[in-house]
Structure 1
Amino acid sequence: MNPTRTLATTARVLTQIRHDPRTVVLLIAVPALLIGLVAWIFTNTPVFATIGPAILALFPFIVMFLVTSITTLRERRTGTLERLLSMPLGRGDFILGYTLAFGLLAVIQALVAVGYAVWVCGLEIKGDVWLMVAVAVTDAVLGSTLGLFASAFARTEFQVVQFMPLIVFPQILLGGIFIPRDQLPDGLRQISDWLPLSHAVDALNAVSTNSHDAAYIGGQLLIIGAFAVAAVVVGALTLQRRTP
């Protein structure tokens, strides 16, 4: 991999997204608006205070997964990736460039989502807000890297959506969003330990309630980061030049 080529790819992706207002709105505004909708639904109830941190993990994760996977697949289907790889650009440069681009967008998305949840929707955070932002950013980056991973195997946008029941839905069901993970049956609890979204939800809940120290949060971030790196590596190794 070459840092110059990687950064050039990052700049190209950011330029493309900047000229697509709908994608910008989807990435930056939609997660915050969905969080606001959940807060509005549960007005005058304690529910939002309970599920709010988990929702902060869920919506950015799903949005980044969809946008990244479809955008990368489009590069392959239009022949752009094939033309790029015919030049001195490796698969690693391409995947890492996309990861950096969507990682920067994830920072903005996390700042907007956390700020909206805390200062507009009234989500109470007993821990440090910067830790909440750090977990939200890492969670959004995870969604991006899993999107890159899924795009390597999909041939159409519809197939990307079909990956959601395989990659996304089990994490939603077992990640502690609907029921605390320690209340899951033993077998399901063990499976949930191997799902990265579970660790994002655990970390956000820990920050929200201030029930664990920064070392615990850092450990969860390392686990999420390890899954993200693994997805990037596998995505780079399996990326096809062009969809058959």
Structure 2
Amino acid sequence: MPMGRGDFLLGYALAFALAALAQSVLAVGVSTWLLGLEVPGPLWQLTLVAVVVAVLGTALGLLVSAFASTEFQAVQFMPAVVIPQLLVCGLFVPREALPGVLGAISDVLPLSYAVDAMTALTTADAVDGAFGEALADLAVVAGFAVGALALGAATLRRRTP
């Protein structure tokens, strides 16, 4: 049965998105009901952010694996993709406090927008427009995910037996 590279990666992304949905519902449920985390907005908004970020992670993993020859190489590539984003996304140091060059780098990395979306939804001073702000950040994250899947499909080597 013929299957294109894009179909292959889209199938992976959809399967992992369903798994991410289940994990996100569980994580949000445990953190709010069991651990008592108070959020100003509806819980489905947090779940949506978590699912979109999980799809981004899947897309980045599939993109990296398209360049790797073995699974071990793919695992070795991931720190090079994840750690720079983690350091400048605003989790450890507010993005506004980063030096100019790091701030500019942070502005083009998708995890920064994911953190901004989650922050907008979970801060105590979140107002009614917080979901609109988070939606704009989520659109950027989703755009990165689609771009990573498209680039991964374009660079994936096709092997036939």
TM-score normalised by length of structure 1: 0.61
Match of residue 222 from structure 1 = 139
Q: 1:238 aligned to 2:155?
A: yes
1:105-150 Cα distance to aligned partner (Å, 9 max, x none): 1111111111112222222212222111111110001001111101
Distance of 1:199 and 1:98 partners within structure 2:
23
In the other structure, the counterpart of 2:77 is 163
Partner of 1:141: 55
Q: In the alignment, what sits opposite 1:115?
A: 29
Runs of 5+ in structure 1 lacking a partner? 1-86
Distance in structure 1 (CA, Å) of the matches to 2:88 and 2:34: 29
Q: How many residues align?
A: 156
Q: Which structure 2 residues correspond to residues 123-138 of structure 1 after superposition, within 5 A?
A: 123-138=37-52
Q: Which runs of 4+ in 1 moved over 4 A?
A: none
How far, CA to CA, are the matches of 1:117 and 1:155 in structure 2? 39
Q: Which amino acid aligns with 1:222?
A: A
Specify the SS of the correspondent of 1:126: coil
2:131 and 2:119 mapped to 1: Cα distance? 13
Alignment check: 8 A CA contact 2:17 2:55 kept: yes
Q: Provide the TM-score with structure 2 as the length reference.
A: 0.91
Root-mean-square deviation (Å) = 1.3
- Counterpart in 2 of 1:190? 104
User: Which one of the candidate residues 114, 119, 130 is aligned to 1:205?
Assistant: 119
Which blocks of at least 5 consecutive residues in structure 2 are unaligned? none
Deviation at 1:154, TM superposition (A): 0.9
Residues 1:96 and 2:13 are matched in the alignment: no
Structure with more relative contact order (C-alpha pairs < 8 Å, separation 6 or more): 2
- Deviation, 1:177, is 1.1
Q: Distance between the aligned counterparts of 1:230 and 1:108, measured in 2?
A: 24
**Counterpart amino acid of residue 183 in structure 1:** A
Question: Deviation at 1:204?
Answer: 0.5
Match of 2:67 in 1: 153
Alignment of 1:164-183 (within 5 A): 164-183=78-97
Aligned equivalents of 1:180, 1:120: Cα separation in 2: 29
The alpha-carbon deviation at position 179 of structure 1 amounts to 1.4
